[in-house]
Amino acid sequence: MDAELYARAAEVLEACRRAGVMIATVESCTGGLVAATLTEVAGSSDVVDRGFVTYTNEAKNELVGVPLALFPAVGAVSEEVARAMAAGGLAHSRADIAVGITGVAGPGQSENKPAGLVHIAAARRGGQTFHERCRFDGDRSAVRRASVLKAFEMIQSLARPVRKHSTALPDRVAGIDFSGARDAGKFIWIAEGTRTAAGVRIDRLTRADALPGGGIAKEEALPALVEHVAGLGDCIVGFDFPFSLPRTLIRQRSWTAFVRAFAAAHPDADSFRDAARAVTGGKELKRRTDTDAKAPWCAYNLKLYRQTWAGISQVLQPLVAANRARVVPMQKTVPGKPVIAEICPASLLKREELYKPYKGRGDALRKARARILNELARRRIVAPIRGRLRETILDNAGGDALDAVLAAAGAARVDNPLPRDATDRIEARIYF
């Protein structure tokens, strides 16, 4: 048995044991490898309830009730099928946590989907369902092994007592394409909508200069934005700027303390960047979440540092200091207050393999924006956008309006507001 797999299996079993939960597995491309690895550890019978190997579509339907209509609609290798497998695992077992895995282990494509593409869903009875769309490198064995490790990570994230604040996230979402420029009001776009079965339905799209009290200048736009966000109430709000720094650059013991001290420590954007570069010797360090999400730049990169500084000091700080919103995963959610999450449109596009040039003038780039909207609708990430709203998005050459829509889609993917570990608690997490 692979030593790392065995060690991780033992950790997962112990976490489930402490939480008093049992596991069921529903596996396709891994062919029972998750269950086999767990049961390699002696004494696993107090945690592992049962495992289903559902290699064919018919097996998925007959053993765990995955609707047959899903397969021609979205394909066997899809988020919808992975979620249905996990839900079916709970419905056909006594387990508290079920994981569903469907993918292309390779070699070669399947359903025109590339080798290494794997969808994994983990569901907690009476709680949340997480989903991860993964692209693993290597041969068939490497893909299957990586899938098992990711499944273990997702199971372990659910293996804790269900907390009141971790359930029932709101269906209303908003995405904000942020700017720290002097004339930020021209570039900040806010997309507001609702989670539906067809994806996020975008109900409203506006610029920051059109908000009550807003204007073109940053000094007008950002306070107006803070007031607007605070007034959204039960809503998940995605912002596309870094919420934190690598932990080696943070002296405070908590993220909240870091945010409260940030503006005083760095009175302007240039002093912030200079301080970060002084500590790192000019190196650009990324947070763990930047690497995981394949974010383009570090928080104090030349292209991003003004946005980072303005976002933390002029948006997060006033919201946190006045307790007008809750920022996940660092703070517990509270009913009635907006849930603020870090989003990266580029990360979402990369995850969906849609990351191609779309910003700029010209017919080709306008068509690229249209293709992204069409594909988001086809995948039920964003509900179809039509009419004047669609034209506004396509006509915005800077891509800021589309990025706001992508941020709203990212906000809709916040299904776990809890920190996975100590790193999340201080460095924040990008949801995509």
Closest CA to 399 of 354, 342, 429: 354
Gap between the Cα atoms of 180 and 356, Å rounded: 24
Arithmetic mean of pLDDT over the chain? 93
Q: What is the pLDDT of residues 190-237, one digit of tens each?
A: 999 998 878 899 999 999 999 999 999 999 999 999 999 999 999 999
pLDDT of 334 higher than 50: yes
pLDDT of 23 higher than 70: yes
- The pLDDT score that the predictor gives to residue 165 is 39
- The pLDDT score that the predictor gives to residue 353 is 87
- The pLDDT score that the predictor gives to residue 255 is 97
Q: What is the pLDDT of residues 121-143, one digit of tens each?
A: 999 987 778 899 999 999 999 99
- The pLDDT score that the predictor gives to residue 160 is 66
Q: Report the percentage of the chain scoring pLDDT > 90.
A: 84
Give just the sign of the alpha carbon dihedral 413, 417, 418, 422. Answer: positive
- The pLDDT score that the predictor gives to residue 164 is 41
- The pLDDT score that the predictor gives to residue 167 is 45
| Collapsed DSSP state (helix, strand, coil) of residue 340 | strand
Q: Report the percentage of the chain scoring pLDDT > 70.
A: 98
- The pLDDT score that the predictor gives to residue 416 is 80
- The mean per-residue pLDDT over the stretch 350-356 comes to 89
Residue 247 CB contacts under 8 Å (≥ 6 apart), including other chains: 287, 423, 426, 427
pLDDT level of residue 168 (50, 70, 90 thresholds)? low
Q: What residues form DSSP beta bridges with 53?
A: 27
- The pLDDT score that the predictor gives to residue 161 is 53
Assessment of whether the complete model's pTM goes beyond 0.85:
no
- The pLDDT score that the predictor gives to residue 163 is 44
- Count the neighbouring beta carbons within 10 Å of the beta carbon of residue 110: 16
Pick 3-162's CATH classification: 3.40.50.1470, 3.90.950.20, 3.30.70.3270, 3.40.50.300. 3.90.950.20
pLDDT of 374 higher than 50: yes
pLDDT of 148 higher than 70: yes
Amino acid at 129: T
* Start and end residues for every CATH 3.90.950.20 domain found in the chain: 3-162
- The pLDDT score that the predictor gives to residue 339 is 96
pLDDT level of residue 166 (50, 70, 90 thresholds)? very low
Which residue matches tokens 């069409």?
374
pLDDT of 365 higher than 60: yes
- The mean per-residue pLDDT over the stretch 361-377 comes to 96
Amino acid at 417: P
Q: What is the pLDDT of residues 56-77, one digit of tens each?
A: 999 999 999 999 999 999 999 9
- The answer to whether 237 touches 229, Cβ cutoff 8 Å, is yes
| Collapsed DSSP state (helix, strand, coil) of residue 329 | coil
Distance set, CA 333 to CA 71, 236, 350 (Å): 36, 10, 28
Gap between the Cα atoms of 121 and 93, Å rounded: 16
Gap between the Cα atoms of 41 and 35, Å rounded: 10
N-to-C CA span, the chain: 33
